[in-house]
Amino acid sequence: MAFITSADRDRIEAAIRAAEARTSGEFVTVVARASDAYLTLPLLYASGVALMTPLVLSLLRIETRALPLSLIQVAVFVTLALIFLWRPVTMWLVPHGAKMHRAARLAREQFFRRGLHETADRHGVLLFVSVAERYVEIVADRGIHGKVPAGAWDGIVADFTSMVRAGRVADGFIAAIDRCGDLLATHFPRRREDRDELANRLFEI
C-alpha cells in the first residue's frame, strides 16, 4: 500500500521487537486502507436519484421522445454510481457513526484472526489503524485488563490518531508501540522463559 513504504514497515517491525524485548506482551499491528467497501449507501443514493429522474424532467418540462426514459435513468444511475463510489465521495456520504462501527468491527475481527486471543498468558495487544476512516484502536486481551485499566490507553490512542490524521501512519505506529511497551513492561516484564508467539510484522489489508 502506498501509505506504508518498505522502510516504514521495517521501522515498525523493529519497534515491535524492541517493545517485546522488555515485556511478556505480544504486539500485532494491522493497517487497513478502509474497513468496508461501503457499496450500499452510494448505490442507494444513485438509485434514488435515477428513480426521481422522470419527476425532475417533468418539472423542468424537458421532452424525452428522442431517447427512452429508461435509458436516461440507466445513464443517470451509472454516472452517479461511479461518482459516489469514488473513495473520497463515498467516505463523505457514509455517516460518521457507521464508519466508526465498521472500523471497530474490523479491529475485533483482526484481533481473533491474528491469534491474539491464543497467547499463553493472554497478553496480546492489537494496534489497529483504518486509514480511510482515520480510525485508531488498541485492543488488549483479557490477561492485561486486570492490571492495566482501559483509560490507560486513551492518551496513546489520542496521539496515535493525531499522527494518522496528519498522514504520519508509520510514526504513529512506532510511537504507540514504544509507549505500549513501556506500559506493559511495568506490569508484565519480560521473563527468561518467554518466547515470541506471534509474528513481529505489520499486516496490511
pLDDT at 167 over 80: yes
Residue 1's pLDDT is: 43
Residue 65's pLDDT is: 67
Last residue of a domain, which of 51, 74, 93? 93
Q: What is the mean pLDDT of the chain?
A: 90
Whether 146 is covered by a domain: the verdict is: yes
Do 25 and 103 have their domain in common?
Answer: yes
Do 14 and 115 have their domain in common?
Answer: yes
Look up residue 134 and give its three cell numbers. Answer: 482515520
Do 173 and 129 have their domain in common?
Answer: yes
Do 65 and 160 have their domain in common?
Answer: no
Taking only the tens place, the pLDDT of each residue in 110-144 is 999 998 988 888 889 999 999 999 999 999 998 88
Whether 1 is covered by a domain: the verdict is: no
Per-residue pLDDT averaged across 1-8, rounded?
77
Per-residue pLDDT averaged across 5-13, rounded?
93
Beta bridge partners of 31: 129, 204
Q: Express as a percent the part of the chain with pLDDT over 90.
A: 66
Do 75 and 160 have their domain in common?
Answer: no
pLDDT at 199 over 90: no
Residue 66's pLDDT is: 58
Last residue of a domain, which of 48, 72, 93? 93
Whether 19 is covered by a domain: the verdict is: yes
Per residue, the 3-state secondary structure of 109-147, as one string, reads HHHHHCCHHHCCCCCEEEEEEECCCCEEEEEECHHHHCC
Do 134 and 169 have their domain in common?
Answer: yes
Do 130 and 191 have their domain in common?
Answer: yes
Do 111 and 85 have their domain in common?
Answer: no
Taking only the tens place, the pLDDT of each residue in 20-30 is 999 998 999 99
Taking only the tens place, the pLDDT of each residue in 50-67 is 999 888 888 877 776 656
Single-letter residue type at 99: K
Full residue range of the structural domain in which residue 56 is found: 40-93
Whether 57 is covered by a domain: the verdict is: yes
Do 175 and 110 have their domain in common?
Answer: yes
Whether 123 is covered by a domain: the verdict is: yes
Do 24 and 88 have their domain in common?
Answer: no
pTM beyond 0.95, yes or no = no
Which CATH number covers residue 145?
3.10.310.50
User: 174 falls in which pLDDT band (50, 70, 90)?
Assistant: very high
Residue 102's pLDDT is: 96
Per-residue pLDDT averaged across 153-174, rounded?
92
User: 196 falls in which pLDDT band (50, 70, 90)?
Assistant: confident
Domain total of the chain: 2
Whether 58 is covered by a domain: the verdict is: yes
Do 74 and 108 have their domain in common?
Answer: no
Do 147 and 86 have their domain in common?
Answer: no
Last residue of a domain, which of 93, 110, 133? 93
